Amino acid sequence: MKTILLTGFEPFGGSYINPSIEACKPLDGRKYNGCRVKVVEIPLRFDEVRPSLVKAIRETKPSAVICTGQAASSTIRLERVAINVADARIAYNCGKQPMDEPIVKDGPVAYFLTLPLRKMLAAIEEGKVPVKISNSAGTFGCNHIFYDLMHYIEENDLGIPGGFIHVPSLPEQAMKKQGPSMSLNLIVKALEAAVRVLSEELP
């Protein structure tokens, strides 16, 4: 059976929860069109992001990969491009705070996702979940794992679809800051729609 690898990050920035991994968990083990979903939590520590992702890919041998992370947004954001820059506004959980550093030395400037972007967008919209295509995944952990994912796929000639989805904060995280948020149920619904579309597109 084919596997779709779905990753989310551990909590960071003083929060006790990260909606990216929490929204992935309910999909772990589910089957869509002959594909089984495997969920893996990634540590948000600068030197552990790539090894953890690579380990998950080698162990699961996925037919496609979707990485997820949290953003201060009111919508699901389907990220189009990852850039080869690590420039952290806050420190990673390990305390490291890179500035203007390449993620991969001498690596390409950027990578585009290879997921069925427009079909995912349409499916999530059909489910009445706010969503948009974004052209910047930032320069923190989310862009970091997105770039590492696409570079690993390219470097090892895996030929599998890959990409990144940003999810909003949860209401309980946004209360004190009075920032944008989305319920966990809606985030799960969006990720499930994206996974379902991806499973239908795999050969």
Which are the catalytic amino acids?
A: 79, 142, 166
CB-count burial class (<10 Å; 0-12, 13-18, 19+) for 26: middle
Q: In this structure, what are the phi and psi dihedrals at residue 124, rounded to the nearest 5 degrees?
A: -70, -40
* Residues 74, 127, 171, 9, CA torsion sign: negative
What tokens does 201 get? 């597109």
Among the listed residues 18, 66, 28, 19, the one whose alpha carbon sits nearest the alpha carbon of residue 182: 19
> C-alpha 65: how far from its chain's center?
9
Q: What is the rounded CA–CA span in Å between residue 19 and residue 8?
A: 8
Dihedral angle over CA of 88, 117, 148, 17, nearest 10: 50
Question: What residues contact 43, with CB distance under 8 A and at least 6 apart?
Answer: 9, 10, 49, 52, 93
